[in-house]
Amino acid sequence: MDIKLDPSRDDLPLMANTSHILVKHYVLDLDVDFENQIIEGTIVLFFESGHKFKKQSSSTEETYPSESNEACKFRTLEPCHVPVTNTSTVSSKMGYNDFVICGKGEKDASGKDGNHDNQEQASGISSSKYCCDTGNHGSEDFLLVLDCCDLSVLKVEEVDVAAVPGIEKFTRSPKLRNQIVRELVALPADRWREQLDYYARCSQAPGCGELLFDIDTWSLQIRKTGVQTATDFPHAIRIWYTTKPQGRSVTWTSDQSGR
């Protein structure tokens, strides 16, 4: 079901399944192309799940809108190059809502069958149908849903936070990626400097496997084959994306000098 909204009058709809998993921190590494009016690069998201987000009762199960009643279509990408800045620093700062309330482009960016446009297909996108589950119930794969509008998503991958040098000094389970992130987000407030330092280090860790993803008008949906609960879903992921010149979530304007 495609929701028709007037961006000048209506708020963007919120689709994220926040009752199961939450974004606790993010690290942006972006390039700004002023000539073409796009911003491109990566965002690394760190998640928290647990007892507060366990299985909902059947009367309160969350669902997300889909353009059809068929199973979700997910895509993976062949390795591709996206120009970004030096990963040792975050080159551009944006508010939380710039990504986790941002995603698929205008309607003309995809064909009638819902596939990506030709430019994205040329990058090596393949697609297939899978069942999807936004909660912790049933035997289907867990589906992470992020609010998103007018972004071209190029690749999604799990981040190998266990590969960060010195991480064994920080966590009791240095080989368990999700446990590392759980302990990181749970650090007390008086250790915020240490926490930020490890967030930065973890955001520069290599990828350890691409994740299946799909986008619709208002959301980005991500899954990992065989992972059926939010607790087992990767707690650190990297998303490669680019904005669109005419996107509704990022607007380009001229300054007083006309630039």
Q: What is the pLDDT of residues 30-77, one digit of tens each?
A: 999 988 999 999 999 999 986 554 444 333 344 434 333 334 455 554
DSSP letters along 13-79, please?
A: P----TTT-EEEEEEEEEEEETTTTEEEEEEEEEEE-SGGG-PPPGGG------SSSSPEEEEE---
87: three-class secondary structure by DSSP:
coil
In this model, does residue 86 exceed pLDDT 80?
no
Pairing of strands 22-33, 38-48: antiparallel
Instruction: Provide the pLDDT for residue 82.
Output: 39
DSSP state of 180: H
Q: Are 185 and 24 in contact (CB under 8 A)?
A: yes
In this model, does residue 78 exceed pLDDT 60?
no
Q: How far apart are alpha carbons 86 and 46 in whole angstroms?
A: 20
Instruction: Provide the pLDDT for residue 7.
Output: 65
Task: Please name every residue paired with 41 in a beta bridge, in sequence order, or none if there are none.
Answer: 30, 241
Residue 17 neighbours by CB under 8 Å, 6+ apart: 62, 64, 134, 135, 143, 144, 145
Per the model's pLDDT, the better-predicted residue between 216 and 112 turns out to be: 216
Instruction: Provide the pLDDT for residue 141.
Output: 92
In this model, does residue 181 exceed pLDDT 90?
yes
Instruction: Provide the pLDDT for residue 3.
Output: 65
Residue 228 neighbours by CB under 8 Å, 6+ apart: 133, 136, 138, 139, 140, 141, 142
Q: How far apart are alpha carbons 256 and 122 in whole angstroms?
A: 40
**Dihedral sign, Cα of residue 10, residue 16, residue 17, residue 20:** negative
